[in-house]
Amino acid sequence: MDDRLSIHVKIADRDYTFKSLPEEETFLRDAVKLIRDRIDVHRGRGVRDTQDILALVALDCLVASLKTEDQARRTQKRIYDKVSQIDQIATSPPA
């Protein structure tokens, strides 16, 4: 039996149907809302062509993703450096 839900959404004047696991439905709906919000931003800036708007939204999303990945890498490095520092202090012979 397929546990997937049939989710209907509208993006940029088109209807789409997705099959989604129940635990992923919220993420899907949140993503659609964010896409709609970004579409509204670009329309507010005077962009009218749907293809141009969707290209800009895709670019916005990828830039945000790359920034998040970079921030996560920097955070992991700081944590690794601190753990290494603590390990070095813990394993060094007493003075």
Instruction: Give the model's pLDDT for residue 28.
Output: 95
Q: What is the pTM of this model?
A: 0.77
H and E: helices and strands count for the chain: 2, 2
In the chain, where the domains are located: 5-91
Mean pLDDT for the stretch of residues 13-31: 95
Q: What CA–CA distance (Å, rounded) separates 57 from 43?
A: 11
Instruction: Give the model's pLDDT for residue 94.
Output: 79
Q: What CA–CA distance (Å, rounded) separates 21 from 56?
A: 28
pLDDT tens digits, one per residue of 58-86: 999 999 999 999 999 999 999 999 999 99
Do 32 and 9 form a contact (C-beta atoms < 8 A)? Answer: yes
Closest CA to 5 of 28, 24, 23, 21: 21
